[in-house]
Amino acid sequence: MVNLIWAFMAIVGIVYAMFNGTMDEVNKALFKSANDAVTLSIGLISILVFWLGIMKIAETAGILKALSKALMPIVSRLFPEIPKGHPAMGYILSNITANIFGLGNAATPMGLKAMEQMKQLSGTDTASRSMITFLALNTSGLTLIPTTVIAIRMQYHSVSPTEIVGTTIITTVISLISAILLDRLFYYQSVRRKK
């Protein structure tokens, strides 16, 4: 899908330029934008290093673990099919906590472990209710502080690079709530259909 979109954008652009007489602009933009992209990636290093460094401290200091304990009562309610004390719950909580702090690299292995555990619970190749709930949480985006976006805003000399944190959190929370509601809605619909 991405491959198609990527190639399609360039192809449409070049063909359009043929008829629009803008080939000169396209030619210039090609090299200038490649250069810009490299400059940008190098510029991102500063905040990524800083944030991942801080997160490493937070992880070792047990702040992530404390948070996942605090989330336990809420999250376990979302997964009625998972027995109390089952390892799947632990992995789900670590995945959610890592996601909240924007640690995508740490979140994915935890998430895959959680999926493995949930598959053992269900034992089929069909997605179980808990799996879908878990992925609904993940796909709606749990990140609290969008580090990369802030870094890009800094690169382009924003007066206030972090001013979008508030709007981002509100949007995240609303789409998270709607993901949970949609998940429930479709689940009960599928149960009713079976009867």
The nearer residue to another protein, 74 or 105, going by C-beta atoms, is 105
Q: Is 15 exposed, middle or buried (0-12, 13-18, 19+ CB in 10 A)?
A: exposed
Backbone φ and ψ for 190, nearest 5 degrees, come out as -70, -30
The nearer residue to another protein, 97 or 153, going by C-beta atoms, is 153
The nearer residue to another protein, 68 or 138, going by C-beta atoms, is 138
Place of tokens 């259909």: 193
CB of 8 to another protein, least distance (A): 9
Distance between CA atoms of 3 and 15, rounded to whole angstroms?
18
Distance between CA atoms of 142 and 136, rounded to whole angstroms?
10
CB of 83 to another protein, least distance (A): 19
CB of 52 to another protein, least distance (A): 4
Q: Are 107 and 141 in contact (CB under 8 A)?
A: no
The nearer residue to another protein, 68 or 140, going by C-beta atoms, is 140
The nearer residue to another protein, 68 or 111, going by C-beta atoms, is 111
CB of 102 to another protein, least distance (A): 9
Q: Which of 149, 77, 78, 142 is nearest to 108 (CA)?
A: 142
Q: Which two tokens stand for residue 185?
A: 């809605």
- 3-state secondary structure (DSSP) of residue 194: helix
CB of 149 to another protein, least distance (A): 5
